[in-house]
Amino acid sequence: MTINQRKKGHDFERKIAKKLQEDLNLAKPVRRILSQYQEKNHPDLKLGRWNIECKAYKKGFEPATSWWKQVLGVTKEGEFPALIYKFDNKPIRVRIKAKNLNEKLADETKIVDLNWESFMYLIDQMYQEDLEGHR
């Protein structure tokens, strides 16, 4: 990974942390997990039970399978994975498990991709307890 790619990744993580704080009206900021660079099994960001991986790339449309596997790998029992990704000149997208939209969708392998506004709505409407540590 080049220095420019690493900087782009760090900048995107900071941008997402700031957007989470602003769009969810959080008093306390969502901080980057800096130990992710020294140790394995840490997400880029943590919001309550949500483990968030952030990926920003120049070209593409669909996120790489390895990105989703990465966020699944850092998500423990009782926690939720979220892959936030963006390609240049495209809007931010968020991949989550379908069961995080509706518990009746119990198949662990099914995923959905949401736009940013829909993910914010989901968190605000269904996951208030995950915001408590930031209020």
Query: How many structural domains does the chain have?
Result: 1
* pTM of the shown model: 0.91
Which of 34-38, 71-75, 130-134 has the lowest average pLDDT? Answer: 34-38
Alpha carbons 108 and 112: distance in angstroms, whole number: 11
The residue with tokens 């900087």 is 7
CATH number at residue 130: 3.40.1350.10
Q: Is the confidence at residue 3, as pLDDT, over 60?
A: no
39-53 tens-digit pLDDT: 567 899 999 999 999
Kindly state the tokens that stand for 22: 């602003």
CA distances from 21 to 28, 32, 42, 75, 89 (A): 7, 12, 20, 22, 23
pLDDT-derived band at 2, boundaries 50, 70, 90: low
- Note the pLDDT tens digit of each residue in 58-103: 999 899 999 999 999 999 999 999 999 999 999 999 999 999 999 9
Q: Which range of residues forms the domain containing residue 54?
A: 3-134
